[in-house]
Amino acid sequence: MVQTAAAMEFYNGYWVNSYLPAADVLWMVVILIVALLALWQARTFVSKF
């Protein structure tokens, strides 16, 4: 199913008032950074304990 114009309008509407630049992409970048950081710490934890 392709997104309708109304659905895309609602979706884009969420990011339009953001205080951050390119918020529609930035939220995914932030999630990836935090997730990779957690995974790296988990690897460190496994090697220490």
Partner 1 sequence: MDLQDLRKLEHKRRVRYGYMWALFCAVLWGLWYLPGTVVWVLNPFDEMYGEIAAGSGDSMALIITAVLITAFNALTVILALMVWNGVLGKFGEMKRTLKQFKPCSKWFFLASIFGGPVAILGSFIAMGFVGGAFAAVAALMYPVVGSILASQWYGEKISKRAATGIFFIIIGGFVIFGGGLLSELGTGNVPWIGYMGGLMAAVGWGIEGAIAGKGLDVAEPDVGLTLRFLGENIIWWIIAVPLLAIAGFPMVKYALLAFEPLTMMVLIFAGITFGFCYVTWYKSFPLIGVGRGQGIGNLYGLFAVVFIILFFGDIPSWTLLLGGAFCLAGSFTMFSEDTSGLESLRGE
Please classify residue 22 by burial: count the beta carbons closer than 10 Å to its beta carbon, then call 0-12 exposed, 13-18 middle and 19+ buried: exposed
Strands (E) located in the chain: none
Using the rule CB under 8 A, is 22 a contact of partner 1?
no
Using the rule CB under 8 A, is 34 a contact of partner 1?
yes
21, two tokens: 């630049």
Using the rule CB under 8 A, is 25 a contact of partner 1?
no
Contacts with partner 1 by CB under 8 A lie at 1-4, 6-7, 10-11, 14-20, 23, 26-28, 30-32, 34-35, 37-39, 41-43, 45-46, 48-49
